[in-house]
Structure 1
Amino acid sequence: MSFSSCSVEFIYMAASPPCRAVWMCIKELGIDVDMRHIDMYKKAEHTQPWFVKLNPQHTVPTINDDGFILWESRAILGYLVNKYGKDDQLYPTEPQKRALVDRMLYFDIGTLYKSMVDYFQPILYMGSSGDPQKANQLKSSLDYLDQYLEIEEYVAGDNLTIADLAILATVTHLEGVEWSYKSYENIFRWVTKLKTELPYYNECNQGGINMFKDWVKLRREQAAATAAEEAAKSVRKNSRT
């Protein structure tokens, strides 16, 4: 893999699946990037004026390619391959092949990733016990993906594409909340294959999963402490009546 001479600023948070997908794409393409990590969890660095000016939505990932600012991970993935790819394997130019990749990118953002966020966000941010209907939607999304992988080695054909990188980051994010995908035989085979094939997997993806795990653990500890405090208040209040 040869490295290009370009310099792209990559603004990211390692715990974010979309950021990890772009990072893996950067490695696959061999792009020379300036990495700028921001902490959205503890320091809310994404709300700093410099970043809001750069990206009014102040979302990650964001890239700055010589003054061209772009956010939304799947748009970034396509842009990077279109501009810096040595060939079109990661994002084919042939209309039907590209349509299959686009379909899976849209499946990720509109179905799989969405169902994961819809289920886990209330649990992690609001202390919810989990909505069974939303859990079923996540399971259905994984069922669909498992079916897609039943006849294909990769999610959009017979070779690695940016759709694999996006969906790999989404599926493996479940490891951070201890939701096992091992019962999905084809998904598990595909994930295991990519973990072995991609030499940058641990650097670009596993480290961020571990960071997310630590954050989840902290959130659960905080929720438990809050629940214990509320229970103690209730006991004290009842003892006075």
Structure 2
Amino acid sequence: MAIDLYYTPDSPACRLVLLVAAALDLQMEHHHINLQNGDQYDPKYLKINPQHSVPTIVDNGFPVWEARAIGRYLVNKYGMGSTLYPTELKERTLVDMRLDFDLGVLYERFAYYFYPQLFIGERPDKVHFAKLLEAMFFFNTFLAGETYAAGPTLTLADLSLVSTISTIEASGMDLTPFENILEWYTRVKATALKYEETNGKGLEVFKEMVDNWRRNKTEL
């Protein structure tokens, strides 16, 4: 039986789950949740996920939400022997550190800086931008001398971080000051299975949203 995935294509978190599913060759039944139409508040969806967030999966009646938790769950259940989430304590802890950095620092700072501009028309906040730059420099430093975000092999950390970095780039941020990030980004795009199908397609939806927003700003 396929795993049910409730998602919206432009969401970085949802694209992370798609990347993990592709890496593990998992079949998923896709259910598009249109956030603008309020699908997340449908009583049937609230019974699955009272937090009304995306992505959410339901695996044989067991619901899981929060993208990085979903990633861990899928690898732990279906990725026996996979290097995506190592079993050795120190290696796994490094992956967890990078996942937590993405969730609580890099993506959070990007969201605080960019989404108020995109969704409610606020002016850019210099303080939030400075914090985002700091997070980018943190990540650039983490990657010094490393092949991937958490060591020599592709892991959940890379799939999480690439969904964020690709979104940051699509928002219009120049990545050229971050040489290590650019090298890593190119590598992950080339090695993550079905990258264009899983992350690239949804990213195009986000880019179109950003382009429309910029076009409307210019016309005002």
Shift of 1:212: 0.7
Give the whole-Å Cα distance in 1 for the aligned partners of 2:216 and 2:122: 13
SS in 1 for 2:83: coil
Shift of 1:127: 1.4
Alignment coverage as a number of residue pairs: 220
Give the whole-Å Cα distance in 2 for the aligned partners of 1:25 and 1:171: 16
Shift of 1:73: 0.5
| Residue equivalent to 1:13 | 8
* Cα-to-partner distance string for 1:45-90 (whole Å, 9 max, x where unaligned): 2222211121111111100000000000010000000000031411
Match of 1:127 among 121, 124, 138: 121
2:18 is equivalent to residue 23 of structure 1: yes
Give the whole-Å Cα distance in 2 for the aligned partners of 1:54 and 1:222: 37
Give the whole-Å Cα distance in 2 for the aligned partners of 1:45 and 1:176: 25
Whether the aligned pair in 2 keeps the contact of 1:64 and 1:70 (CA below 8 Å) is yes
Shift of 1:40: 1.5
SS in 1 for 2:159: helix
Of residues 101-110 and 31-40 in structure 1, the stretch that sits farther from structure 2 once superposed is: 31-40
2:45 is equivalent to residue 51 of structure 1: yes
Q: 1:10 to 1:125 in 2, by over 3 A?
A: same
List runs of 5+ in structure 1 lacking aligned partners: 1-5, 229-241
Match of 2:165 among 151, 168, 171: 171
Shift of 1:198: 2.4
Give the whole-Å Cα distance in 2 for the aligned partners of 1:84 and 1:31: 8
Match of 1:184 among 178, 185, 190: 178
| Residue equivalent to 1:161 | 155
| Residue equivalent to 1:101 | 95
* Cα-to-partner distance string for 1:135-159 (whole Å, 9 max, x where unaligned): 0110110101111111210001110
Shift of 1:223: 5.2
Give the whole-Å Cα distance in 2 for the aligned partners of 1:188 and 1:26: 25
Give the whole-Å Cα distance in 2 for the aligned partners of 1:148 and 1:78: 22
2:214 is equivalent to residue 215 of structure 1: no
Q: If you compute each CA radius of gyration, which structure gives the higher value, 1 or 2? A: 1
| Residue equivalent to 1:77 | 71
Give the whole-Å Cα distance in 2 for the aligned partners of 1:206 and 1:31: 18
Residue identity over aligned pairs, in percent, reads 37
Whether the aligned pair in 2 keeps the contact of 1:127 and 1:223 (CA below 8 Å) is no
| Residue equivalent to 1:238 | none
Shift of 1:216: 2.1
* Cα-to-partner distance string for 1:17-68 (whole Å, 9 max, x where unaligned): 0110110000000112111122213x22222221112111111110000000
Please report the RMSD computed on the Cα atoms of aligned residues, expressed in angstroms: 1.5
SS in 2 for 1:35: strand
Of residues 107-116 and 120-129 in structure 1, the stretch that sits farther from structure 2 once superposed is: 120-129
TM-score, normalising length from structure 1?
0.87
Q: 1:205 to 1:46 in 2, by over 3 A?
A: same
SS in 2 for 1:128: coil
